[in-house]
Homo-oligomer: A and B are copies of this chain.
Amino acid sequence: MNIDNLLADRTRKMSVNTIREILKVVAQPGMVSLAGGIPAPESFPIDILQKLTQSVLEQYGPASLQYDPTEGFAPLRHALAKDLAARKGIQTAPEDIFIASGSQGVLDAAGKVFISKGDPVAVESPTYLGAIQAFDPYEPRYVTMTSDDQGLIPESLEKVLDKEPVKFIYLVPTFQNPTGRTIPLERRQCIADIIQARDVLLIEDDPYGDLRYAGQPIPPIKTLAPEHVIYVSTLSKVFAPGLRIGYYIAPQKVRDWLVIVKQGVDLHTSTFNQALAAEYIQGGHLEKHLPHIIRLYQPKKDAMLSALEAYLPEAFTWSKPEGGMFVWVEGPAGYDMQALYHRCIKQNVAFVPGQFFFTDPAAGTHTMRLNFTMADEATIDAAIKKLADVIKASSI
C-alpha cells in the first residue's frame, strides 16, 4: 500500500539514525569496537539475579506480574528514596520519585509535555544523542550552549537565556556522553543560581554519576536548585540495562503531566523488573556490587588514557574523565574524522565520529567519541595504537 501520504509531518523529517548504522558495521566479527556505549556484560550481577527473582516471587507473588500504577512500584520508590539520600545527598520522599522505562522514557515524556513545534530547547554542544532522538519528534528548535573541559560554561547559559525563552535546558553534568566531561561544583552552583533567578527548568540527566573511578563525588544540581530541576537517572549502568528501569524526581507541578503522558505511552514500567530492582537496592546488593563494577572499569579507563598519551600525535587532545564510559578526542581544526573512521574500520578498529553528537550538522567534524567499558585493557591499548598508526599514516 501507499504509505507516504499517511506519514505525519514530524515523520517526514525523520531519518534513519546514523549511529545505528555505524553500530551495525561495528558488530562485524573481528572488529574492535570503541564505538558502543554499553556496559560490559561482566558488570551484570547475574549470580544475584536468580536469588532476586526467587525473592520477588515469594515476597510479592502475583502483584509482581500485575498491572501497576503509572507512577511506579511502591517498594522500588521507597528503596530509591533511601538510596538517593544515602549515596547522592538527594533528600526526597518515595512519593516524589517516579519510575520510567529507562531514562529514555523520561526524556520522551518531557519532550511531549513541554515542546510545541519550534519551541527553543537549550542543549550542550555536543550533547547526548538519545536525548535528541527523544526530543526530535516534538520538533523543537535547538539552541546550543558552549562547553569547555569543565563542561557547560555558565556565561554561555546566561547568554542563551537572555535571548531565548527556552522550554528547558538539557544537561548531563557528570561524565557526559559523549565527552566524559564533568561540571565542577562551583559551576554547578552558578548554574543553579541562574536557573533559580530566571525561573527556568533544567533536566539533569545523570546516568553515569555512580561510575566514579577517581576523585570525589560532586553533588547533583538537583540538590542546589531542587524546585527547578528534573533529576533523571537509571539503573542501566549499576544493575542491568536490559531491565529498562529509569527514574526521575520532578518539581511538584511538572510531575503530574509526566505521569499522564507516560500512561498513554506504556501504562507503566515492567512491575516484575521494578520488583527486582527494589530487591536489588533494598537487599544491599547495589551497594555491594557497585565497587565490583568500578574495579572492572577503572583499569580500562586508565588503559585508554595511557594509550592515548603514548600513541596519539601531539596535535590531538582528549578529555581525562574520572569516571563514566567515554573519552572525547579532538583532532586539529579541519581534521576529517569521518574519513579517519572509514580508514580505521578497514583496520578493524571502530569509534563514533563526534559530529553525530552535535545538533549543528557542520559542527564537530574533527572530533570522536571513544568507549572504554567493553574491551579489555590489552585490546584497548592495541586498538588505540592502531588508531594512532592510521592517523599518522594518513597525515604524512
For the complex with contacts A67-B236, A102-B266, A104-B266, 9 further pairs of A-B residues with Cβ separation under 8 Å are A1-B199, A8-B115, A10-B112, A11-B257, A14-B260, A65-B240, A112-B137, A243-B271, A265-B265
CA distance A257 to B6 in the complex (A): 12
Q: Given the complex, which residues of B lie within 8 Å of A11, measured CB to CB?
A: 112-114, 257, 261
- A267 CA to B153 CA, complexed, in Å: 30
Interface of A, secondary structure class, is helix
- Asked if B62 contacts A267 (CB within 8 A), the reply is no
Partner of A104, one of B240, B251, B267: B267
Q: Closest 6 interchain pairs by CB? A: A242-B271, A41-B62, A65-B240, A53-B53, A133-B264, A3-B253
A9 touches B41 (CB 8 A): no
Which bracket fits the contact residues of A? 35 or more
Q: Chain B contacts of A133 at CB under 8 A?
A: 263-264
Query: How many Å from the CB of A132 to the closest CB on chain B?
Result: 9
Q: How far is the CB of A195 from chain B (nearest CB, A)?
A: 9
Binds B, one of A43-51, A326-334, A377-385: A43-51
* Neighbouring B residues of A64 by C-beta, 8 Å: 242
Question: A76 contacts the other chain (Cβ, under 8 Å)?
Answer: no
Q: Is A134's CB under 8 angstroms from B57's CB?
A: no
Q: Is A116 on the interface with B (CB-CB < 8 A)?
A: yes
Chain B residues contacting A269 (CB-CB under 8 Å) are 244
Query: Is A313 located at the chain interface by the 8 A CB criterion?
Result: no
